[in-house]
Chain A
Amino acid sequence: MDLSGKSYKAFVERQQALQKQYSPEQAHKQHVKGKLTAWERIDLLFDKNTFEEIDAFVTPAATPVEFGKIDRKYGDGVIVGHGKINGRLVFAYSQDFTIMGGSLGLVHSRKITKVQEMALKMGAPIIGMLDSGGARIQEGVASLSGYASIFHNIIQSSGIIPQISVIMGPCAGGAVYSPALTDFVFMVNHTSYMFVTGPNVVKEVLNEDVSSEGLGGAEVHARKSGVAQMIYDDEENTILALKKFLSYMPSNNVENPPTVNDDEAIPDFNEKLRDIVPDDPNKAYDVRDIINQVADRNSFFETAELFGASLVTGFARLKGRTIGIVANQPKVLAGVLDIDSSVKGARFIRFCDAFNIPILTFEDVPGFLPGVDQEHAGIIRHGAKLLFAYSEATVPKITIILRKAYGGAFIVMNSKFLGGDFNYAWPSAEIAVMGPDGAVAILYRKELAESKNPAELKKELVKKYRDKVANPFIADESGYIDEVIDPATTRQKVISALNALSNKWVKVPARKHGNMPL
């Protein structure tokens, strides 16, 4: 096209100036820190040549009082727009640390709220790639209001479109609440950190010495605080994992998740499942081995694997359809429910419920974690979150009891009368108010005390309890579970249950919202 005409001159010059702004020197600044540029991240995330930028030429807002320098570059430190990821429409914003440290001013925030509103209107997921020094001090209250409007939009879109944050640099102060409000947070090891107050203030106020990474690095948030669900060693792999993650998501709350072809490598009748749970109830095993033998091959994508690890959560596929998996992990802390795992499970279930993803639960739980530590930290109200989330969810809910299903934890883990649609048990299941040792100690306290050989009597009673009480057959014969199944048929049973539930519809009473024990 001939662009030499007079009216095109300004257009071309502007275009060239924008190109020049993203120079190799600018890229180098990021690369030496082990980071990619805002554009490189966009290029990696979206299908080739599908990303359309919006508001590329905006410049920072004028400030009422001149205080500090403002770098009047195009774009105001953030790239926003839409494109296709694996062929599906997604909106995104990517902060550019090389322009005024990616700080958030009025125009910067308006660009973000613009795409947020578009994403909500179009019913498409939105991804925020954050790499920012925080609020722009020069712009004062305008910048703070900018944050407020971003937060408000996230909350308005919550449960309507999937919202995902990727932390790729600093994210400090009030800014942290933008990812905290979104559905999932990805972080990059060693080059990203999040905290409300930075190490300098911590040092000043509390005289504690801590590095940025020690205070709010990816590892800390994935393992201890539970703020980040997915962490990877570099940005490229973080983005690749995010793309895979998106393939499980529906675009919004009225659509169903996309389906893919199942390679049928996992047979519907799978004898491998018979050998995973050890006969000895004191022996642990990895529940993920069971998940991998039930779900489609290589389809399990674990979320928050380092936090509250006694409960495994993640997405998988069954015959190509997305399901959410919640499973007690006997390998970690015997699979107990503690505060972290309860909260993690509750949040995951609520995401699945909002986005039409059926929930499959694998249960092997000895109970809630006892102790002063947990009780004082509020295991009662945190455990109640999991209970609330399970019972409130209206998506199809299926439970497989693998082994232990004791006490309150049995009730919480999607039991039949809490609203579970199908509850199956393997023959190895033990369903009872408490484990054999505890039950015998309480019910036969007197007899044991008077006995000449208490150890022998206890052994006998434990055996009797295990044979007569703690088995799945009593529950089966009285309708508290639906069926005791051969482990090898698990996949087949779940598939047929999901087919039966595909038109499940629950009438929810009209109310503003329930009052979850937050």
Chain B
Amino acid sequence: MANDKLQKKKLYALSSENRQFSFNLPLKHSIKIGKREYDVKLKADEKLGTYILWKNRKYPVEIVKSRQNKYEILFNDISYTFTVETPFSLQRMKVLTAGKGKATTEYVKAPMPGKIIDILVREGSTVQRGEAVVILEAMKMQNEILSPANGTIVKISARPGSNVMKDDLLVEIKP
């Protein structure tokens, strides 16, 4: 009982900033800028590793991390994270996010007792998911406490040099 609906004709790349790019299948090595299409080539050599050849110039590219359909790549020394979506999964995402209300405030808490060494953000500054916000020294190690979401810092409860207990509030982030 093969299902033709699952045969893919298109794939999408969804960046962490919610920008969407579509690609027709089978993949062609070309990119569209405005209305013009350019040929690009994906190549590899000993010196640069994998690189993209465009207009006779080489741009190194590296897959830093991949987990199923999530990728982090390094291109021209800038890191990009994105997911690869099929038409069905993209539609599913829209259906599921439509039913949900606004995301609530995220509370960053101390994962273990320790001492605050440094606070890397200020109230009002924006953070990305996975960015370090606080350095907590515990077990004689400096632990980076990471932001669980993209958002803005609304309140900082921790002070550098102070001791905190497990589950003490450190930072509040509004998405």
A and B: bona fide binding partners: yes
The range of chain B's interface size is 20 to 34
Chain B residues contacting A241 (CB-CB under 8 Å) are 68
- Is A495 part of the contact surface with B, judged by Cβ < 8 Å? no
| Contacting pair A366 B92 (CB below 8 A) | no
For window 168-197 of chain A, which residues contact chain B by CB distance below 8 Å? 190-191
Give the A interface residue count (CB, 8 A). Answer: 39
- Is A456 part of the contact surface with B, judged by Cβ < 8 Å? no
- Is B81 part of the contact surface with A, judged by Cβ < 8 Å? no
Chain A residues contacting B140 (CB-CB under 8 Å) are 281-282, 334, 366, 435, 437
Chain B residues contacting A331 (CB-CB under 8 Å) are 143-144
For window 346-396 of chain A, which residues contact chain B by CB distance below 8 Å? 366-367, 369, 371, 373
Among B5, B63, B67, B112, the one with the most A-chain Cβ atoms within 10 Å of its Cβ is B112
Per DSSP, chain B at the interface is mixed
Comparing A40-48, A133-141, A482-490, the segment that makes contact with chain B is A40-48
For window 92-129 of chain B, which residues contact chain A by CB distance below 8 Å? 92-93, 95-96, 111-113
Chain B residues contacting A233 (CB-CB under 8 Å) are 69, 83, 89, 93
For window 66-90 of chain B, which residues contact chain A by CB distance below 8 Å? 66-69, 83, 86, 88-89
With A43-B6, A232-B68, A369-B112 in contact, do A284 and B88 touch (Cβ < 8 Å)?
no
A373 to B84, CA, bound (A): 41
Distance of B109 from chain A, by nearest CB (Å): 13
Residue of A at shortest CB range from B89? Answer: A234
Q: Which of A32, A302, A336, A369 makes the CB contact (< 8 A) with B95?
A: A32
Q: Which of B66, B89, B95, B139 makes the CB contact (< 8 A) with A333?
A: B139
- Is A262 part of the contact surface with B, judged by Cβ < 8 Å? no
Chain B residues contacting A43 (CB-CB under 8 Å) are 1-3, 6
A334 to B83, CA, bound (A): 30
Against B, the Cβ 8 Å flags (1 = close, 0 = not) of A235-247 are 0110011001000
Q: Which residues of B contact A (CB under 8 A)?
A: 1-3, 5-6, 63, 66-69, 83, 86, 88-89, 92-93, 95-96, 111-113, 137-144, 166
Listed A/B pairs (21) with beta-carbon separation below 8 Å: A39-B3, A43-B2, A43-B3, A232-B68, A233-B83, A233-B89, A233-B93, A234-B88, A237-B68, A240-B69, A281-B140, A283-B141, A298-B63, A302-B67, A331-B144, A333-B111, A333-B112, A333-B143, A334-B143, A336-B112, A373-B166
